[in-house]
Chain A
Amino acid sequence: MTRLAVPKTYKLYLGGKFPRSESGRTFEVRTPAGEFLANAALASRKDARDAVVAARGAVSGWAGATAYNRGQVLYRVAEVLEGRHAQFVDEIVQQEGVSRAAATAQVDEAIDRWVWYAGWTDKFAQVAGNANPVAGPYFNISVPEPTGVVAIVAPQDSSLLGLVSAIAPALVTGNTVVVVASERFPLSSISLAEVLATSDLPGGVVNVLTGSPAEIAPWLASHQDVDALDLVGAGDLDWVALEQAAAESVTRVSWPEQGPDAAAPSLERIRQFTETKTVWHTKSLL
């Protein structure tokens, strides 16, 4: 006798909670063979705005945490991810229709990449910042700071790895994130949210929207309280219009990347959503 399975309801992840879309809408997620997997929440523009509010509210706590603390929390995420390794492999096999070996490789790389970024939190300022030898009696130092709220259109061709590759670097310096997950493979994003929710990451630091990037992204791009827009997974959208909408509030924009190397780990992915702050302080004459 086989046991009757208990399927999961996939919802959004906003402000540390798992609400349904305020619109009540869902869409069907199917295997490549067309078999029904789950209903995912079809996020609305109101959900996107709620996500930005949650992300804005979380900036001061996350950016104000010590770099050591952010590193510990992010490393904790990797630990919890590792514990759920098999679940992510299963979900990737189901959604993408790839072999277990390929799914395993994707999960392995996602975890290892997360660890790589976790280790950057208390080193990035040392690498990207510096003292400046100005020609006068001043102490002068430049340090990178987080830009604030980063809206991300996640890579669309991958369930987990693309998502992790886009989120993790933004978090390193203290940004908070609103991410629109892969439209075809949204289930891993909500499972990742469950990992984040149980890893001491404060609520609102990462907010996950599932649904149509084409529908949601314009609202995020034009949102006045979004500081930066990562279009890494927006190559199939009208991303030029998104970039133009973002320009209205001088939002920082990062361009689409496509192919297997999209959002490859790099220092630039951390740097692109930071601001350099330079502080001058007089030295007294002795």
Chain B
Amino acid sequence: MSFLEYAPAPESTSVLKLKDAYGLFIDGEFVDGSGAPFDTIAPATGKKIATVSTADAADIDRAVAAARRAYDTTWSRLSGRDRGKYLFRIARLVQERARELAVAESLDNGKPIKETRDFDIPTVAAWFFYYAGWADKLDHAGLGPAPRALGVAAQVIPWNFPLMMLAWKIAPALAAGNTVVLKPAETTPLTSLVFAEILQQADLPAGVVNIVTGAGETGAALVAHPGVDKVAFTGSTAVGKRIAQTIAGQGKKLTLELGGKGANIVFDDAPIEQAVEGVVNGIFFNQGQVCCAGSRLLVQESIHDEFLDRLKQRMRTLRVGDPLDKNTDIGAINSAEQLQRITALTQAGIAEGAEAWSPECELPSEGFWFRPTILTNVATSNTVARDEIFGPVLSVLTFRTPAEAVAKANNSPYGLSAGIWSEKGSRTLALADKLKAGVIWSNTFNTFDPTSPFGGYKESGYGREGGRQGIGAYLQAADAPAPARAPGELGASGSAGAGSAAGAASSVAQRVAKAVTKPAASKSPAAKAAAAKPAKTSTRKAAK
């Protein structure tokens, strides 16, 4: 028996009070969705947890109408102080039900209870607590006096940090005075629905937050809905691009938090033990299913061999297995689809010449699992050095000079995160200036805080979440020009509570949903120019 073998220490699921089936949360009540219900499963076992409703276009109409009604009649009339007090209540209720939420999250997502208990859920509470205090201080948010809310925000979030992403979206939106329709990912809707119960306990006015479940088509219908003033999306770069194309000309403000291929740069003067720990945290935290993961290790050539030996030694101590076991370091991959993608990309890397190494570990026979893996002999042009794998797979590259490290780190269409490991502060700061990334961690990685803005450069998206900048994404200056809209587009304010035009709205939503689920249009500039030409004749003007 090695020192790694522990008796199982599973967290009890008795704290959960789950229902067999969940509806949509619209206008303060759970209602059945009109689409075909689906099961949410536990990725560690493949077993069903609960049945969840699918919102179709008509449900989206109802949710947006409820949000508009709540905005017009309640939320926009409430004082900042009172909005803040609701958010403080929510923060406290999350803390009170923290263990239940942690267990539900680990069950539904597959991530270790160690992470949901010590990171995800505490961060959720912290996010609400932080933005609660902003609600009555908006004059100091940096947009001048008396900034205005945008209206109804459509928010679509991913499956990697389900409740945390909800908090990152809902807390600043409500603090700024907006109302919300949020769609969680189809593989991880559970904690959003438990959160809806918390909103009922907090007595949040009906319609201020609406939660609609479903797959990509539900999300597409939501962001395209003409009753929406603001769209916030976290997810893949491909879907982010399609959303931006879909809502162009609709007068909706957009923030996108998309993919990444973060470089973790280790210099020969780095504190090596800390760096090894940071690299492990950078790529194996949450099974590497993190948009800002340090998925490219750039290690200085002179310490490459020693560093890799130590990294492998550390990886041999990682415990892979039951997410609900308190000893587990690495849990299950979120879905069969994601496991397939990780496997395919890793295979592509090996086919291109990379050498794969994983510690020996026994994987459970059911569910979705992938061994923590490092790929060496990787060239900058290889698939695994360019494409986001979104799994526990680290590509190792080397550099000789700081200039080469910067060039390699920036050699990516993404620009979300980067790490620097060195004891030389002056060089670290010079490097931080030159790295094209929204978040730079020096001698640390994957640290998050509600006061600290997070978001990307380049194709990692635009806008920031967290901090003072994060609330700016849900506000406009008092004297800001009205959003430009193509003629014929029903504006949110123009449609006066989209519910009144529910039929028309749903047909628009369906039309755009189809467009969004289609593959992206031809990439050739000629095709784009041709598309740009026909309407040259000034039929479209900015609405002022």
Contacts and interface: CB of A to CB of B under 8 A. Distances in A.
Given A219-B529, A238-B536, A280 B447 contact: yes
A136 B449 contact: yes
A114 to B, nearest CB: 21
B7 interface: no
Interface string A124-144: 000110101111101010100
Interface string B510-544: 00000000001001010011011111101111101
B455 interface: yes
B89 to A, nearest CB: 21
A279 B444 CA distance: 11
B338 interface: no
A276 to B, nearest CB: 5
Interface in A248-265: 248-250, 252-253, 255-259, 261
Interface in A130-167: 130, 132-136, 138, 140, 142, 147
A134 B450 CA distance: 8
B61 interface: no
B430 to A, nearest CB: 11
A81 to B, nearest CB: 26
Contacts of B244: 243-244, 246-247, 250
Interface in B425-466: 425, 428-429, 432, 437-444, 447, 449, 451-455, 457-462, 464
Contacts of B536: 214, 237-238
Contacts of A221: 528, 532
B383 interface: no
Contact of A132 (B142, B467, B520): B467
A244 B538 contact: no
A239 interface: yes
Contacts of B248: 240, 243-244, 247, 253
A227 interface: yes
Contacts of B494: none
A65 B477 CA distance: 30
A235 B458 contact: no
Interface string B206-242: 0000000000000000000000000000000100111
Q: Please classify the interface of chain A as helix (H, G, I), strand (E, B), loop, or mixed, using the class held by over half of its residues.
A: mixed
Interface stretch (B39-47, B75-83, B481-489): B481-489
Nearest to A236: B538
Contacts of A135: 126, 449, 451
B290 interface: no
Of listed B126, B248, B460, residue having the most chain A CB within 10 A: B248
Contacts of B462: 250, 252, 275
B359 interface: no
A192 to B, nearest CB: 25
Given A133-B451, A142-B452, A282 B484 contact: no
A258 B484 CA distance: 10
A279 B242 CA distance: 30
B402 interface: no
A9 interface: no
B133 interface: no
B484 A280 contact: no
B535 A241 contact: yes
B442 A248 contact: no
A250 B532 contact: no
B241 A247 contact: yes
B535 A238 contact: yes
A266 B477 contact: yes
Interface string B33-67: 00000000000000000000000000000000000
A222 interface: yes
Given A244-B248, A275-B457, A256 B531 contact: no
Nearest to B522: A248
A277 interface: yes
A219 B529 CA distance: 7
A128 B142 contact: yes
Contact of A258 (B249, B425, B541): B541
Contact of A257 (B241, B438, B481, B533): B481
Interface in B138-196: 142-144
Q: Which 8 A-B pairs have the closest CB atoms?
A: A240-B249, A247-B244, A255-B484, A134-B449, A238-B535, A243-B248, A256-B542, A218-B532
Interface of A: 127-128, 130, 132-136, 138, 140, 142, 147, 214, 217-219, 221-223, 227, 231, 235-250, 252-253, 255-259, 261, 266-268, 275-282
Interface of B: 126, 142-144, 237, 240-242, 244-245, 248-249, 256, 258, 413, 425, 428-429, 432, 437-444, 447, 449, 451-455, 457-462, 464, 467-469, 477, 479-481, 483-484, 486, 520, 523, 525, 528-529, 531-536, 538-542, 544
29 contacts: A135-B126, A218-B533, A219-B525, A221-B532, A227-B458, A231-B484, A237-B536, A243-B249, A244-B248, A247-B244, A247-B248, A250-B460, A257-B544, A259-B544, A266-B479, A275-B457, A276-B438, A276-B464, A277-B437, A278-B438, A278-B440, A278-B452, A278-B454, A279-B432, A281-B425, A281-B428, A281-B444, A282-B442, A282-B443
Given A135-B126, A235-B542, A279-B432, 18 more contacts: A138-B444, A140-B451, A218-B533, A237-B538, A240-B486, A240-B540, A249-B459, A250-B237, A252-B462, A258-B541, A275-B457, A276-B438, A277-B440, A277-B457, A278-B438, A280-B447, A281-B428, A282-B443
